Amino acid sequence: MAQATKNVIVTGAARGMGAAVVRKLAKRGANVVAVDREPKGLKALKDELAGQPGAVETVTADAGSASDVKAYVEHAAKRFGGVDGIFNIAAILGEFRPIAESSNEGFDEVIRVNTKSAWLGMKYAIPHMIARGGGAIVNTGSYLAWHGCELLGPYNASKHALVGLTKTAALEYAKHNIRAFILCPGSMDTQMNIDTAAGFNPKNTEEGLRQLAASTATGRVADPNDVATVGCFLLLDAPLQMTGTLIPIDGGRSAM
């Protein structure tokens, strides 16, 4: 029997891992509401994916704003007739500073964009998933969702908090057939990885990139497509018995 068409929301979709996820979902026939605060990348993605089996709707919005999140979840439900999943990817790195030298505003903004965004996405999408008889949540953590890291305190805290939120969602909504996962990439070949290398090694980004690759067992950073493949499996295919799980894709970094 053919699988019913899934309707999903993806944040942070304009580039990097988010764009890779949208490409895979549309090619598989899922309908996607692709959200980002950057309209240019969204438009390019929509044009690129015209004619794929799944429809791609783009929404320029701030994933950390309650009114924006409520509006795009409602839009997805109206446009496609329901919501089956949400993949929360939007994130920022924030300042590279030791705690005592970090700004209060910087802390608040990182928590708002990285943690509150996923909280809002779950809060507004879950009732729609319950109405559909089930669904899936994939939140994007990091190697830093379960390891400490100098200079990235707020980012680190924002990703650790997502682990707790995701596990709680899994416990609260398993009875509604809703699965919840936290996908934890190590370094991935995206703009954020370049920004990370520059943040840790401002005088020599190339050397920073080499150090990030060398900190894995595989000796290289991940292709965002590989991470997207696992994320799409979690969103569309994982069995009901799999939920509340943290899934690292970090080239063996967390095995060291």
Ligand X SMILES: NC(=O)c1ccc[n+]([C@@H]2O[C@H](COP(=O)([O-])OP(=O)(O)OC[C@H]3O[C@@H](n4cnc5c(N)ncnc54)[C@H](O)[C@@H]3O)[C@@H](O)[C@H]2O)c1
Query: Which residues are part of the catalytic machinery?
Result: 155
Q: Which of 6, 16, 30, 232 binds ligand X (CB under 6 A)?
A: 16
Q: Who contacts 75 (Cβ-Cβ below 8 Å, separation ≥6)?
A: 33, 57, 59
Nearer to ligand X, 17 or 32 (CB): 17
Instruction: State the DSSP string of 15-74.
Output: SHHHHHHHHHHHHHT-EEEEEES-HHHHHHHHHHTTTSSS-EEEEE--TT-HHHHHHHHH
Nearest approach in angstroms of CB 220 to ligand X is 12
Least distance (Å) between residue 82 CB and ligand X: 23
Q: Which two tokens stand for residue 16?
A: 């990097």
Mask 30-59, x = binds ligand X (CB under 6 A)?
------xxx--x------------------
HSE, CB side, 13 Å, CA atoms: give it for residue 64. Answer: 14
- Gyration radius of the chain's alpha carbons: 17
Q: Which is nearer to ligand X, 64 or 132 (CB)?
A: 64
Measured from the CB of residue 112, what is the shortest distance to ligand X in angstroms? 8
CB of 139 to ligand X, least distance (A): 9
Closer to ligand X by CB, 15 or 128: give it. 15
Nearer to ligand X (CB atom), residue 12 or residue 85: 12
160, 184 in Cβ contact below 8 A?
Answer: no
Q: How many residues bind ligand X (CB under 6 A)?
A: 29
Work out how close the CB of 234 gets to ligand X at its nearest, in angstroms, rounded to a whole number: 14
Report the distance separating Cα 19 and Cα 245, nearest Å: 23
Residue 232 host element (H or E): helix 224-236
Binding range to ligand X, per CB under 6 A, among 21-29, 49-57, 69-77, 189-197: 189-197
Q: Return the range that interacts with ligand X (CB under 6 A); candidates 25-33, 79-87, 183-191, 241-249.
A: 183-191
Judged by CB under 6 A, the residue of 56, 83, 113, 182 near ligand X is 113
Tell me, rounded to whole angstroms, the distance of Cα 7 from its chain centroid: 16
Q: How far apart are CA 17 and CA 196, in angstroms?
A: 15
The smaller minimum CB distance to ligand X, of residues 67 and 241, is found at 67
Residues 65-104, one symbol each (x = binds ligand X by CB under 6 A, - = not), give ------------------------xxxx------------
Could you give the string, one character per residue 134-173, with x where binding to ligand X holds by CB under 6 A and - elsewhere? ------x-x-------------------------------
For residue 150, give the nearest of 200, 212, 225 by alpha carbon: 200
Pairing of strands 135-140, 178-185: parallel
